[in-house]
Amino acid sequence: MAEVRTIGVVGAGTMGNGIAHVCARAGFAVVLYDLQQAFLDRGLSTIEKNLAREVAKGKLTAQQADEARARITPVLELDALSGCGVAIEAATEKFAVKAEIFRNLARVLPAGAILASNTSSISITKLAAVTARPAQVIGMHFFNPVPVMQLGEVIRGLQTSQATFDAVYGLSQKLGKTPVEVHDAAGFVSNRVLMPLINEAVYAVMEGIATAEAVDKVFVLGMAHPMGPLTLA
């Protein structure tokens, strides 16, 4: 596929504005879409605060932060993504909502463009099936806070092509992430492994084995987790 220069991001909420931030910081033009101006304004305000924080920490110069912000174009019409080589969907975690977005993205985006979802649990294969380009649909699961967390799960659907996977794996690296290859399954890797851990932590408290504070302390001090499973939950 052609080199990606412009990335569309669907959704300006917590994950979407973080994705727009890292894309713009990496030098890509970003078209940031949401349904209401208030959502866009809130997302852009968060991006500006996070860029300012990076300047204060010496990770960016003020000029670099200004240039990154200038690369982001907020839009209220999905058709404005028509020039994007990749679109990353970061809408609410409901299949019906994401499926409708994917149908519309498949209509709007150029024939060679990739459709990626930031979903943490919904089947990429199932999302791909609502489009006429399933080979170009892939999962691109970022972690919160997106500008800080290094990991990215790159999830193959059953029909995701090798070219699509290679392009998104490389894009993840350009965004400063460390991608891992994952195949489509419930919860992928992160949530598949995390949810049983959280459930067992809850059972340990429920059964009177230890307090919530004690359970979390075991994981922080004994297993070097940055926070315990109950705090994370």
Q: So which residues are the catalytic ones?
A: 141
CA distances 209 to 69, 204, 214, Å, are 50, 5, 9
The span from the CA of 23 to the CA of 73, in Å, is 12
Question: Which residues have CB under 8 Å from 146's CB, separation 6+?
Answer: 15, 18, 19, 21, 22
Helices (H) and strands (E) in the chain, counts: 9, 8
- What would the two tokens of residue 55 be? 């300047």
d(CA 27, CA 121): 29
Q: Interhelix angle for 190-206 vs 212-222, to 10°?
A: 130
Q: Which of 122, 142, 135 has the alpha carbon at shortest distance from 188?
A: 122
State residue 4 phi and psi, 5-degree precision. Answer: -80, 130
> Whose structure tokens read 């404005």?
80
